[in-house]
Amino acid sequence: AVDAAGDEASFTSYGKNVVAHANGYQVESLIPGGETLAESGTSMSSPQVANLAAKILAVNPKLKPAEVIQLIVETSERTADGRRNLIHPKKALAAAALK
């Protein structure tokens, strides 16, 4: 998880298993009772990546899971400091349409 600008947050994770980052800071979330609250954390960023994967499959349902992951990673944009790969939904969906 990163903030909306793609910058590191106190809870940003790194490591060989982290291949893409998404906004997880102050994400408007629906809470029990129907109210909204700005929440932060990896629990806010991971649904954004899952949402992107679902959209990719809607554009191209023939893709296999590994291909969806590859598209997300390949279309991500590296931050200037080289530490984070930020998902880029428009690029990912355009690439999925071409596969």
Q: pLDDT tens across 37-75, in order?
A: 999 999 999 999 999 999 999 999 999 999 999 999 999
Contact yes or no for 58/92 (Cβ under 8 A): no
Identify which has the larger pLDDT, 76 or 13: 76
- Res. 99: pLDDT tops 90: no
Q: pLDDT tens across 4-22, in order?
A: 889 989 888 888 888 999 9
Q: Read off the DSSP letter of residue 92.
A: H
Query: Who contacts 49 (Cβ-Cβ below 8 Å, separation ≥6)?
Result: 20, 22, 72, 87
Task: Look up the pTM and report it.
Answer: 0.88
